[in-house]
């Protein structure tokens, strides 16, 4: 079920009104302690919140409307596809997996209200699929305080990779790892040295900027220019002028798709002789659609780092499973990197839950990740430990070709 965002001032009032609805739109039993709420009681003690005799309920606060909406919608579609897939075969140990989603518009204050609602009123088992660094920075501590797992946030922010954050489950590589791969490719393969950065002026953009600076410093280089724009805007022209002053050969971008597209379009109009390389958070398909096909005779100039393999490929078996699950779930036959990331996060959740007996607890769920450590889900592998809460280190490079399609860099080569 997708629910609109809740403001902090009305959380208490709306908690009673919305807590009685499941993802299917049917009324659910009250979620207080005891057997009468639909949860099984073992030895006189109810299992953790969100675990019922017929379902396990997860919660999500993400951008479902506004400038970053496509990211939130796509990661939700991927998670739901994974849940629908297992539900079609009877669920996990007989329990359906359900997802309650609220829109936060990519704004931390709204994400806080949504998270409180999900934990306190909806009493979800875990949070999954948060979108963005600033929203995750605001809500991960709330989840930690409540002992609620914070799974698969769509961000590579370094603070979430703190090994002491045992409640955080990172599926993807970090922004620092993406920046390292990008800079290595630009310097080693492309023989470029004059590199600039466009970044969103918030915790996400500054994390990307820090990663690029560190990668350049390891090669005795620095940025030739930098420019920033405000979150949830397309006000990029001032940043473009600042960046153009450095005459960069390449511009690395830590931004969302709408401002990134606006920046690239303005730079092309000014005939800036450069290439553009964006971090994965941009949302590849959304960016490609916003830019459209290149003019006839123009050379592709936009590259994107990814943290999952190309979703239309056949490199690993999970890709075919993902496409089949998406088609069955919502008729979606246009795969995307973001929905694939959501699907992979959902499959990881399912795999861990299947390894647990009876009604799972949050503590058992998190312990199973670090104790088992290695997971191979149809060829996509994870490696967790007690000191590593990030499962995958994989980074892939792609390019938007002249037809406006996002393809692997090796596939794009002539």
Is 166 in the same domain as 183? no
- DSSP E strands, 95-248: 96-103, 126-128, 150-151, 168-169, 195-200, 225-229
Single pTM value for the model: 0.87
Domain for residue 34, yes or no? yes
Q: 252, 212 in Cβ contact below 8 A?
A: yes
Is 295 in the same domain as 344? no
Domain for residue 247, yes or no? yes
Is 138 in the same domain as 203? no
For 135-152, how does the pLDDT look when each residue is reduced to its tens digit (9 = 90+)?
999 999 999 999 999 999
Alpha carbons 274 and 251: distance in angstroms, whole number: 7
Is 61 in the same domain as 28? yes
Alpha carbons 164 and 168: distance in angstroms, whole number: 9
Alpha carbons 286 and 202: distance in angstroms, whole number: 21
Instruction: Tell me the CATH number at 290.
Output: 3.40.50.2300
Is 84 in the same domain as 51? yes
Domain for residue 389, yes or no? no
Give the domain range for residue 351.
2-172+316-383
Is 94 in the same domain as 239? no
Output the pLDDT for position 67. 80
For 288-305, how does the pLDDT look when each residue is reduced to its tens digit (9 = 90+)?
999 988 888 889 999 999
Helices and strands: H and E segment counts in the chain:
13, 15
Average pLDDT, rounded, for the chain: 89
Output the pLDDT for position 5. 55
Output the 3-class SS for 352-380. Answer: HHHCCCCCCCHHHHHHHHHHHCEEEECCE
Alpha carbons 389 and 166: distance in angstroms, whole number: 7
Strand partners, 92: 95
Is 116 in the same domain as 132? yes
Is 86 in the same domain as 19? yes
Q: Give the CA count within 13 Å in the CB-facing half-sphere of 360.
A: 30
Is 209 in the same domain as 328? no
As for how many domains the chain has, the answer is: 2
Domain for residue 391, yes or no? no
For 150-195, how does the pLDDT look when each residue is reduced to its tens digit (9 = 90+)?
999 999 999 999 988 889 999 999 999 999 999 999 999 999 999 9
Is 191 in the same domain as 106? no
For 301-339, how does the pLDDT look when each residue is reduced to its tens digit (9 = 90+)?
999 999 999 999 998 999 999 999 999 998 877 899 999
Is 278 in the same domain as 351? no
Domain for residue 239, yes or no? yes
Is 11 in the same domain as 157? yes
């Amino acid at each position: 079920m997708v629910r609109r965002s809740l403001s902090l001032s009305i959380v208490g009032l709306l908690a009673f009104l919305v807590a009685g609805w499941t993802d299917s739109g049917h009324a659910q039993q009250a979620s207080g302690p005891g057997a009468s709420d639909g949860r099984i009681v073992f030895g006189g003690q109810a299992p953790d919140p969100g675990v019922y005799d017929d379902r396990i309920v997860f919660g999500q606060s993400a951008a479902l409307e506004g400038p970053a909406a496509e990211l939130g919608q796509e990661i939700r579609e991927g998670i739901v596809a994974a849940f629908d897939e297992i539900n079609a075969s009877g669920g996990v140990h007989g329990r359906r997996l359900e997802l309650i989603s609220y829109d936060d518009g990519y704004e931390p204050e709204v994400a806080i209200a949504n998270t409180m609602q999900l934990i306190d009123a909806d009493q979800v088992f875990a949070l999954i699929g948060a979108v963005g660094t600033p929203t995750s920075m605001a809500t991960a501590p709330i989840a930690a305080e409540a002992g609620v797992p914070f799974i698969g946030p769509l961000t590579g922010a370094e603070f979430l990779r703190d090994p002491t954050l045992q409640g955080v489950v990172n599926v993807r590589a970090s922004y620092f790892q993406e920046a390292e791969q990008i800079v290595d490719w630009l310097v080693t393969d492309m023989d470029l040295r004059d590199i600039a950065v466009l970044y969103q002026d918030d915790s996400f953009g500054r994390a990307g900027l820090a990663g690029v600076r560190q990668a350049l410093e390891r090669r005795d280089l620095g940025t030739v220019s930098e420019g920033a724009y405000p979150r949830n805007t397309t006000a990029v022209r001032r940043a473009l002028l600042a960046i153009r002053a450095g005459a960069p050969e390449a511009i690395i971008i830590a931004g969302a798709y709408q401002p990134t597209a606006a920046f690239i379009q303005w730079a092309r109009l000014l005939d800036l002789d450069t290439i553009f390389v964006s971090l994965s958070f941009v949302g590849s398909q959304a960016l490609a659609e916003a830019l459209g096909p290149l003019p006839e005779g123009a050379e592709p100039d936009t590259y994107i780092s990814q943290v999952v393999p190309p979703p239309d490929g056949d490199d690993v078996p999970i890709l075919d499973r993902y496409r089949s699950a998406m088609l069955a779930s919502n008729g979606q036959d246009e795969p995307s990197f973001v929905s694939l990331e959501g699907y992979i996060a959902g499959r990881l959740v399912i795999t861990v839950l299947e390894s647990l007996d009876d009604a799972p607890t949050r503590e058992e769920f998190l312990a199973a990740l670090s104790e088992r450590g290695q997971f191979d889900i149809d060829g996509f592998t994870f490696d967790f430990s007690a000191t590593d809460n990030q499962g995958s280190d994989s980074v892939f490079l792609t390019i938007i070709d002249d037809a406006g399609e996002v393809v692997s860099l090796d596939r794009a080569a002539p």
